[in-house]
Amino acid sequence: MNHSKSRFQATKINPKRFHPAQLRYLAVLLPIATFMILPLFFIFNHAFKPFEELFAYPPRFFVTRPTLSNFTNLFAVTGSSGIPMSRYLFNSIIVTVLVILVSVLISTMAGYALSKLHFKGKKAINEINTIALMFVGVAVTIPRYLVIEKLGLIDNFFIHVLPYLAIPVGLFLVKQFIDQIPGELIDAARVDGANDWQIYRKIVVPLIKPAIATIMILSFQSVWNSADTSATYINADVKKTFAFYMGTLTTNTNAVAGQGMAAAASLIMFVPNLVIFIIMQSKVMDTMAHSGIK
């Protein structure tokens, strides 16, 4: 009797197929989802608007006469510049790949050490990382510049990479995820003769793939969209990134005439973020469910 009742409740609450009981939830969720997806539609629509629709009053949300002129104008300007756009794009790809690989390595190794190893200063490091979560990048711009200047890294290409290797939120997520791994599993591996590197590589890393995917997304978004490093620390144009170049294309042209190119450039910068998040969003949700963030 209880078994049949539980099966009935499970079918009614979370059926595998459509059930009329879902309508009340859809009535609430669909308007919220529609409202949240509107900015995405706006970015795509705005990039294909002709000049007159960009400045139409009252403003139009959807494009009525889509055109590719914004993109053709954008690539025409990039083709006439002294340094080809491919150079800026190459810089961004190299910087993004380096940041993702190294930040994942640092965050996962540090997360394993802070979660499963015992050493002096472990609690202090955890507290420092927690405090670092409260600071945004803008708050440490001046101290960061002074440190970089003292190190002699102004106009150094690798300054694109160095400030983004420390991701406090990434370390926090990884540590919380590794905390879910039973200590008995680690102890059993040590009894079998595995050292810390083998435990990290063969046990910990396969079990924290959702957290690794989250760090990859966070690292990608922070680096790919950032033009601050090129504007603040880099003097040579040949060392600057694609995000900085896209910003200068619109500022170096007429403010009104450049709005179409600005819309096209925003879409180009946004699409990789959207694609990567769609591919890895299930991993991100799994990380949040196991990281202690409620």
Average pLDDT in the 190-219 region? 88
pLDDT tens, residue by residue, 211-227: 888 888 888 888 888 88
Nearest-angstrom CA–CA distance, 177 and 25: 30
Between these two residues, 135 and 188, which has the higher pLDDT value?
188
My answer on whether omega of the bond before 58 falls inside 30° of 0, hence cis, is yes
Can you say whether the dihedral through the CA atoms of 122, 124, 125, 127 is positive or negative?
A: positive
What's the whole-number average pLDDT of the chain? 81
Nearest-angstrom CA–CA distance, 25 and 8: 19
Q: What is the pLDDT of residue 109?
A: 92
Burial 98-114 (b: 16+ CB within 10 A, else e): bbbeebbebbbbbbbbb
Contact at 8 Å (CB) between 44 and 267? yes
Binned at pLDDT 50, 70 and 90, residue 99 comes out as very high
Contact at 8 Å (CB) between 185 and 204? no
To the nearest 10°, report the CA torsion of 117, 120, 123, 129: -90
pTM (2 decimals)?
Answer: 0.76
Nearest-angstrom CA–CA distance, 44 and 52: 17
Contact at 8 Å (CB) between 145 and 233? yes
Q: What is the pLDDT of residue 49?
A: 86
Nearest-angstrom CA–CA distance, 160 and 243: 12
pLDDT tens, residue by residue, 141-163: 888 889 888 888 898 888 888 88
Average pLDDT in the 109-115 region? 91
Nearest-angstrom CA–CA distance, 280 and 263: 26
Binned at pLDDT 50, 70 and 90, residue 121 comes out as confident
Binned at pLDDT 50, 70 and 90, residue 293 comes out as very low
Nearest-angstrom CA–CA distance, 105 and 62: 43
- Residues of the chain with pLDDT > 90, as a percent, come to 7
Q: What is the pLDDT of residue 15?
A: 58
CA angle 169, 174, 176 (to 5 degrees): 95
pLDDT tens, residue by residue, 234-279: 888 888 888 888 777 666 555 566 777 888 888 888 888 888 888 7
Which domains are delineated in the chain? Answer: 20-67 (no CATH), 85-290 (1.10.3720.10)
Q: What is the pLDDT of residue 21?
A: 72
Q: Give the Å distances, CA to CA, from 73 to 62, 156, 262, 263, 265.
A: 21, 32, 10, 11, 11
Can you say whether the dihedral through the CA atoms of 230, 136, 158, 211 is positive or negative?
A: negative
Q: What is the pLDDT of residue 83?
A: 76
In the predicted structure, residue 62 carries a pLDDT above the cut 60: yes
